[in-house]
Amino acid sequence: MNKQLKNVLLLTFIFLIPNFAIAEQVASLFSAQGTVEAKSANSNSWKAVVKGDKFETHHTVRTLANSRAGLLLTDGTLIRLNENSLLSFKDITQQGDERELELVSGEAFFFSRKPKRFPKIDTSNVSAAVRGTEFVVRTDSSTTSITVLEGSVEASNQHGQVQLKSGELALTKNGQAPTKQLVANPTDAVQWALNYPAVVSLSDFPGLTSSSSAKQKEGISLLNARDLKKAKQAFDDSSWQSQMGRSFTAYIQGDTQSAFAELSEQNLNADTLLYAASLNLSVGNVDKANALLEKALQQIDKSNKTQAGALSANYFAQKAIIALVSGDKELARQLAEKSRSANGSSSAALVASSYVAQGYFELEHAKNYIEKLLETDPQNEFALSRLAELQLAFGEIDQALESAQKAYQINPYNNISQNTLGFAYLVKYKAKEALSAFSEALKTNDTNGLTFLGMGLATIRTGDLESGRKLLEEAVIIEPNISLYRSYLGKAFFEEDKSELASREYNRAINLDQKDPTPYLYRAYDHLANNRVVDALKDTEKSIELNDNRAVFRSRLLLDQDAAVRSAGLAEVFNSLGFNRVAVIEAIKSINKDYGNYSAHRFLSDSYNTILLNDASLSERSIANLIAPLSFNLFNNPGTEASVNEFNSLFERPEDRTNLAFTASSLDDRLIPEIFHAGRTEKFGYFFGFESAAADGSKDNNYSRDYRFRASGQYQPTYEDRFIVEGRYKHQTRINSNAEIDDTKFEVWEGELGYSRVLSPTSKVIAQATFRDTRDHLGGDDSRIVDLDLVKFGDTFETGETLFLREFAREDVRDTRLSLQYYNSTEIASIVFGGEAYFAKPHRREISTIKDDDFSVFTDLNRIIRSETKQNISSQDLYLYPTFHVTDWLDFTAGGSYTNLELERREVLPFLDDKRGKNRWNPKLGATVYATPELTIRTAYFEGLRKSALEDVGDLEPTLVGGFNQTFTDFSGTESRNYGAGFDYKFSGSTYFGAEGLHRDTIEESTLTRTLVTLDFDTLAEDIDLSLLDQFDTHFNQEFVSAYLYHVFTSRVVGTIDYAWSMSETTDSDAFQEIELHKVALGLKYFDPSGWFTFSTATWRQQDRNGSFFFEDGNNNFWIIDAGLGYRIPDRHGSVVFKVTNLFDRDFTFDQSLGFDEFISTDVAAELLFSLNF
């Protein structure tokens, strides 16, 4: 018997195996509001399901009245079910490539982005074939409608078919073919899926609070205190007041079904109708809510005057929220004003007005409304949660946390307070705490898209990009009308190298809110990555045009600080086109408005590419690194030009990246290999880099070797505090027998410590300590005029002599710089205040050999001339730069600085062991006028005093005054007086034109030394003595004029014209020198969407020289043609560029000693530049 039983059980198990094998999970429930039920094919009974439950083939899911559900299919498709809807999961179609679904009744919103198997949706009237899109299906027994929000859908039945695209609707009746119609606003079809913020509280129902019994009043009091259990017990009768009290208790706990169940359709009055309308809004029943509101309005007209004001305010407040969520901001504003007019102290009126003000980006007004409400009702947890949201928008992180925690303590079921806590933790780099807060928020309300957005961002912050992106998709289907969610989903697709999907989300975001610059900016990156550089320019310009909205909208949640979006990569849009001056002007305008815009500082640093602006470039880079938050993108590649598509991360998340670059040039047979590795965790970032350069030269005995190492780390333990440490080592060796200085060796060790502290949302303190040890030796042949005293038989003969020397100098400079800066940027003014102290111990030694002289006295004697300086020098600076935002069209700077210097007497051969002092007050005046959105005018006057040593570079003092650079690489102690004026104009976003002029009067303190050589033939002694012969000022007059004209010819072709004139002359009659340069550069670039691009430049220069130190007087003019071809590796993985400079091998004489122009070579050169990111 036992054996037979065993056999039966065995056979039963064997037959059951196939059944288990074919059971396939097809979906899961990620959102449930109200009552959601499911049943299997083998069951006739419905069972309630909860979030997280899974469904298999042949399962059916339904929503009851006042309920909504969110489903995630295993293929990635997302579905949102409206109330009273029934959806069944069928088998895979016969073709094997589609999951078949049947919407039996009701309404569903489908969102699909390239799933593994596209779903097919059947109804009783028509079938819909999905092709990566989003659409709404509504069906009953007689009619089915399909509305396409984005993408494409094929609607078909046995009578016919239609192809639908965005903005189209297919209507199908029983027994008829589907017909296509245009839809004015497709988003109307998904109004039921939107989130309508709650604005009402108990105080907005005067009938409830004034006409209640003693026990009901006790219940209201308990309800206000959020003692929900006792409050429910107090509402123990069948009156409408008690019914409403019990319903409100359930609503506060997130139990909407019980809240609806407690309401009765009898004894309807204005209070109950308004309350029922708010309940229906909470579950997306906007049509029912509108109908109830109209019934309530009729009852309000019958109410007594005492209650009518509060009831009317309630009515208009809810109507305002409906209009706002539907996208009609103007109507929402009008209704909010009516609400306040009805009752200015109404909770509903003030909360609704706050949301409407935010919709207009008026955050200050939005905050004021809530603060007014809290003055009369300080325990209103909805108002406290709303205040926390707005405090977070202003960057008041600690205050937001305090308000949100207080709201949560009053009511743990408050979803808004939990969301705010989550975002505040994100800002504070506490991803785990943020995930916990958002998880709690989902438990109380999983129909708020903001919660899913926060969960997605927090998940990405932990390093799980794919899971985070899926959560962002859920945010989109929960609230499909929110542009910002689309932008962030697009960012996630972009990070996953899914450019096409990213572009679709950006386009959808723009359609939803054309005043939000966020998607334009993100789409610019996508265009750039796909070599659509002109399209990237258009989107960047649109983003700049809408930047005021961006400034508000970005800070509304401080989501992930957008560190990459505002990084140096934005400059690449302009620089890739060759629109360098436009990039500079946009950076200047950004810094004028917000000194804390670190990307604008990086912008400027990268644009300064001449020796004269080297100091400014280093300063701007130091400022950018210190004021930025922890960012992967700050560790940018400081080397080769090959990274024309530098990798930028659009999310701050744990990741690492390696860059390999290689440059090979026929010019001096130069090879430059580079490797950089950067990464970050939630609170720590690191960078390691090595760069080498080797050149054998085009002539004998001519070579160079360079080695550079760099390592840096960032640590941000809190939102307010950030630490930076960086070390650099550079070694250079140059041998060039064809140059006057033919043997050079440089070795530099650098260490840098940085710290930044956020004091408030508008202010920050940054500090930096740098340590440097510079060692070098210089060798070369030169001549020196000396005084020669010959002593013979007691008589001295004095004469002049020219010595021909083999000069050799060793220098060791150890210096320290301490910098401290405070800045505060508000709408009224931006103030920058700081100071610096520099200390150096230079030790310079000369050991020069006399090779020959005019009289052949020292020929072959190898006599040595020695000079040395070993002075401690220093400088101290204090500065104040207030920029007043006088109006929207005028920024005015009126500041100054004080500099005190101790300098070496001479920094060049022959050295004198002496020092000098100097101090000066330097006024700074400037104005930037934004005459029109297209025209910017800049003017400046400023004076300056160059720091103590040539090695003192990269300080933190602002480099801009009135939109002009004020930091130049002058000689130590140079005084300057500067005047500048310029304008910049945009023509319809396709043509850019501008010009500027800068006049500089500089005074350099010069010294003449006397070298006295004494030869005593009587004693056979010799002596060489160095002394100061004269000290005088050399006055220079420098002029800089530049102009540019850039034009976009087509979506693939751009042209540029740049003109520059510079002139430098001494104004001292006894030391005249004048060098004048005209330069015109004509450029043409072509970009193909396949990734290829070409460029060519024709540059004409004319130089006139009088009194040049290195070249004979005269003039020379010549053209140089450069051309190249490049390819962007897909998915931002690098580029390959081949270019030829000086294509026709044009020979010329050109004095480049002043550093006014980038270096150019007289030889034709071919270069190959390669960069790979992975």
100-159 per-position pLDDT tens digit: 889 999 999 998 876 555 678 888 878 887 766 889 999 988 899 999 988 888 889 888
667: which DSSP letter?
Answer: G
644 pLDDT higher than 50: no
Q: What is the pLDDT of residues 711-770, one digit of tens each?
A: 999 998 888 899 999 999 999 888 775 555 667 888 999 999 999 999 988 899 999 999
What is the rounded (10 degree) CA torsion for 510, 516, 521, 526? -20
973 pLDDT higher than 50: yes
Closest CA to 881 of 837, 920, 926: 926
Cβ neighbours of residue 887 closer than 8 Å, sequence gap 6 or more: none
Q: Tell me which of 766-770, 973-977, 996-1000, 1063-1067 is least confident.
A: 1063-1067
* Bridging pattern class, strands 1021-1048 and 890-904: unpaired
Contact call for residues 680 and 655 (beta carbons, < 8 A): yes
Predicted pLDDT at 294: 93
648 pLDDT higher than 90: no
598 φ, ψ (degrees, to nearest 5): -65, -30
Predicted pLDDT at 1173: 84
Contact call for residues 46 and 39 (beta carbons, < 8 A): yes
Residues in the chain: 1174
1108 pLDDT higher than 70: no
Rounded CA separation 482/489 (Å)? 11
* Bridging pattern class, strands 1114-1129 and 795-825: unpaired
Q: What is the pLDDT of residues 1021-1032, one digit of tens each?
A: 888 888 888 888
Predicted pLDDT at 1024: 86
- Tokens describing residue 388: 């926390």
Q: What is the pLDDT of residues 36-83, one digit of tens each?
A: 999 988 888 999 999 999 999 889 999 999 999 999 988 888 899 999
168 pLDDT higher than 80: yes
4 pLDDT higher than 80: no
For the purposes of burial, counting CB atoms within 10 Å of the CB of 798, is it exposed (0-12), middle (13-18) or buried (19 or more)? Answer: exposed
Predicted pLDDT at 117: 57
Contact call for residues 572 and 602 (beta carbons, < 8 A): no
Rounded CA separation 862/1114 (Å)? 38
Q: Which single residue is written with the structure tokens 């059971």?
A: 23
Contact call for residues 164 and 152 (beta carbons, < 8 A): yes
- Tokens describing residue 866: 């020695």
92 pLDDT higher than 80: no
In 681-720, DSSP assigns E strands to 684-695, 702-715
17 pLDDT higher than 60: no
Predicted pLDDT at 37: 95
Predicted pLDDT at 132: 62
Rounded CA separation 332/335 (Å)? 5
- Tokens describing residue 455: 């969960």
For each of the domains in the chain, give its residue range(s) and CATH number, in order of start: 26-193 (2.60.120.1440), 194-379 (1.25.40.10), 481-557 (1.25.40.10), 636-715 (no CATH), 1049-1174 (no CATH)
460 pLDDT higher than 80: yes
Q: What is the pTM of this model?
A: 0.83
Rounded CA separation 63/81 (Å)? 7
Closest CA to 364 of 555, 558, 516, 595: 555
Mean pLDDT of the region 431-457: 90
Q: Is 589 helix (H, G, I), strand (E, B) or coil?
A: helix
Residue 381, CB-side half-sphere exposure with 13 Å CA sphere: 21
950 pLDDT higher than 80: no
The residue type found at 785 is: I
Predicted pLDDT at 570: 58
Predicted pLDDT at 549: 40
Rounded CA separation 192/176 (Å)? 28
Predicted pLDDT at 548: 53
Contact call for residues 670 and 664 (beta carbons, < 8 A): yes
Rounded CA separation 996/1061 (Å)? 11
Query: Cis omega (within 30 of 0) on the bond before 910?
Result: yes
- Tokens describing residue 1083: 């450029």
Rounded CA separation 222/215 (Å)? 10
Q: What is the pLDDT of residues 469-495, one digit of tens each?
A: 999 999 999 988 888 889 889 989 988
Cβ neighbours of residue 7 closer than 8 Å, sequence gap 6 or more: none
Predicted pLDDT at 564: 36
Highest mean predicted confidence (pLDDT) among 109-123, 195-209, 863-877: 863-877
Mean pLDDT of the region 1053-1081: 88
**Strand partners for 1041:** 997, 1061
Q: Per-residue b/e over 811-842, b at no fewer than 16 CB within 10 Å? A: bbbbbebebbbbbbbeeeebbbebbbebbbeb
What is the rounded (10 degree) CA torsion for 1048, 1049, 1051, 1057? -40
Predicted pLDDT at 1098: 96
**Where would I find the H helices in 462-607?**
465-478, 483-495, 499-512, 518-529, 533-545, 547-555, 569-577, 580-593, 598-607
Q: What percent of the chain has pLDDT over 90?
A: 37
Predicted pLDDT at 632: 54
Q: Which helix (H) or strand (E) holds 161?
A: strand 160-165
Please provide the distance, in angstroms rounded to a whole number, between the alpha carbons at the two ends of the chain. Answer: 69
Predicted pLDDT at 933: 84
Predicted pLDDT at 119: 73
- Tokens describing residue 480: 């499909």
Q: Per-residue b/e over 659-675, b at no fewer than 16 CB within 10 Å? A: bbbbbebebbebebbbe
Q: How many Cβ atoms are within 10 Å of 876's Cβ, its own excluded?
A: 16
- Tokens describing residue 901: 């210097």
Rounded CA separation 119/99 (Å)? 4
